[in-house]
C-alpha cells in the first residue's frame, strides 16, 4: 500500500469520492499519454493544479482562486511494484523514457 496524491478540479474530485474510481485522462495533452497521474509528494500535485488554474482560468493564481476550482486527493493505493513507472527514483525507468522520447523526436 502506498500513499499518493492526485490533483484535479473540484467537480472531478467529487465524482472520484462518490464512485471511488479515477477516470483516465485521455488525449494528446498528457505527459505520458492516457492514464491516471499521481505524485508521491503533495507539493507536485499542488504544482499541477497551480499550472492548470493558470492555464484554464486566465487569472493570476492565488491560493483562494485555486481552492475554489481545484483540490488534491490523497489516495492509498494497493498496487504491484512492477506496475509503477517511476521517473524520479528509478534510473532504469528514466532511461527507458529518455530513449523512447529521443526515438519519437527523431
Cα–Cα distances in angstroms (integers) from residue 99 to residues 7, 31, 32, 36, 103, in the given order: 28, 15, 14, 23, 6
pLDDT over 90 at 29, yes or no: no
pLDDT of the residue at 65: 85
- Residues of the chain with pLDDT > 70, as a percent, come to 98
Mean pLDDT score of the chain: 88
Cα–Cα distances in angstroms (integers) from residue 14 to residues 4, 31, 65, 85, 93, in the given order: 18, 24, 18, 27, 33
Question: For residue range 45-70, what is the model confidence (pLDDT) as tens digits?
Answer: 999 899 888 888 888 888 888 889 99
pLDDT confidence of 25, banded at 50, 70, 90? Answer: confident
Question: For residue range 72-89, what is the model confidence (pLDDT) as tens digits?
Answer: 999 998 988 888 888 888
Amino acid at each position: 500500500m502506498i500513499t499518493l496524491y492526485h490533483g484535479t478540479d473540484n467537480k472531478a474530485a467529487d465524482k472520484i469520492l462518490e464512485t471511488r474510481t479515477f477516470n483516465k485522462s485521455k488525449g494528446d495533452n498528457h505527459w505520458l499519454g492516457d492514464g491516471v497521474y499521481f505524485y508521491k509528494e503533495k507539493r507536485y500535485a499542488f504544482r499541477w493544479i497551480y499550472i492548470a488554474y493558470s492555464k484554464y482560468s486566465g487569472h493570476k493564481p492565488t491560493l483562494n482562486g485555486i481552492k475554489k476550482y481545484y483540490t488534491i486527493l490523497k489516495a492509498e493505493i494497493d498496487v504491484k511494484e512492477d506496475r509503477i513507472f517511476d521517473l524520479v527514483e528509478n534510473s532504469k525507468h528514466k532511461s527507458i523514457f529518455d530513449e523512447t522520447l529521443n526515438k519519437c523526436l527523431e
